[in-house]
Amino acid sequence: MSTTTPDTDSTPACLEGQSPVVSLLVESRPRDLGGGFVVRRTLPSPKRRLVGPFIFFDQMGPVELAPGQGLDVRPHPHIALATVTYLFAGEIEHRDSLGSYQTIRPGDVNWMIAGRGIAHSERSGEEARRNGMRLHGIQSWVALPKEHEEAEPQFEHHPRSTLPHIVRPGVTLDVIAGTAYGERSPTPVLSPTFYVHAQLEDGATLVIDREHEERAVYVVEGELEIDGARYEPGMLAIFNPGFDVTLRAHGATRAMLLGGAKIDGERHIFWNFVSSSEERIEQAKSDWREHKFPLVPGDEEEFIPLP
C-alpha cells in the first residue's frame, strides 16, 4: 500500500522500560493516505524501525465504506521488500506489473516480493464498491535479506484454508508467515519470520515462547495483560529476549504476533522504497519519476507520483 514518507515523523511514539518482559511500547499514529482513508501506523517509529524483518506495519480501518465508495490505491512501486496483506473484513483487488490479479478476502494472505522492482495497485472491486463494505486489516512490509534485495519479483496468494490453523482452549491461531507453535506457513519467507493472527476469548492465556530472536504483539481489538500491565488497541509491545511471554485477554481480543531474526544490517526507507543502499533508493526514485517501472496490466491509466 502506498504511504507518505514514514521515517520523518518526529512525534514521540515509544515509551521505554515497561517491565522486565516488555522492552518498548510503540503506540500507533493516524495517517491519512488520501481521500479520508486513515490508517494507524506503528512501524517504522522514531525509536524503533524494525521488529525482526518487519519494517512497516499499518492497521487499515475498521472503516465503513458506503455504497459508491471504495478503496483506490493507484499503481505505485516497491523495491527490496515483501508486502503482506491480511484482512479481517472486506476485500481488496490486487493487480501488479507481473500481470497478477487477485481478490483477497478475510484470512487469506497476499505475499508480494518486490525484489529489484514491482508496481501494484489495490482497489475495491465493482460489487464491493456498488454495495459498500466494512474494511479492516493489516498491511505490513518485510525487509529482504541483502542477498535477495534484487531478486526477481514474485506474487503468491495463499487462501485461508491453506494456512496452519491452531485451536487451543479459548484461543485460535492462524500462522500467516514463517513458523510458530510447531507449524509452518506456506508463505515463501526469505529469513526466519514469526507472524500469527491470534484471537483470544475473555480470560484466555497464550504463551509466546523463545523460538524467535525478536518478538512483539500488536493489539487490534480488546485488551491484553502482559506482566501485570494492560495493552489496548493500537499498542505494539516489543519483548526482551530470554523470556517466555504470557498474554492474558481481557474481553474478546484480536492481536497480531510478529517478529523473527534481526535483518542483516541497516535499512533505509523512503516512501515505498526499502533498501540497504541509499544509492539504490535514489535509483528507484529516478526510475519511477522517469516511468521506467513496468505498467500494471488492467490499471495502466493512473499512478501515484513520487512525493
- pLDDT tens figures, 102-147: 999 999 999 999 999 999 999 999 999 999 999 999 999 999 999 9
Q: What pTM was estimated for this model as a whole?
A: 0.93
What's the DSSP call for residue 149?
T
* One-letter identity of residue 82: A
What pLDDT does 10 receive?
A: 35
CA–CA–CA angle 184, 185, 190 (5° rounding):
95
What pLDDT does 35 receive?
A: 58
Of 24-38, 255-269, 271-285, 291-305, the one with minimum mean pLDDT is 24-38
**Strand extents, DSSP E, 90-234:** 92-96, 101-104, 109-113, 118-123, 133-143, 154-158, 165-168, 171-180, 183-184, 193-200, 205-208, 214-221, 224-226, 229-231
Q: Is residue 145 within 8 Å of 24, Cβ to Cβ?
A: no
Distance CA 296, CA 100 (A): 9
Among candidate residues 29, 33, 27, 25, the one with its CA nearest the CA of residue 3:
33
What pLDDT does 154 receive?
A: 98
What pLDDT does 31 receive?
A: 85
Q: Tens digits of per-residue pLDDT, 69-84?
A: 999 999 999 999 999 9
Element spanning 268, H or E = strand 268-270
Question: Is 186's pLDDT higher than 90?
Answer: yes
Q: Tens digits of per-residue pLDDT, 210-262?
A: 999 999 999 999 999 999 999 999 999 999 998 899 999 999 999 999 999 99
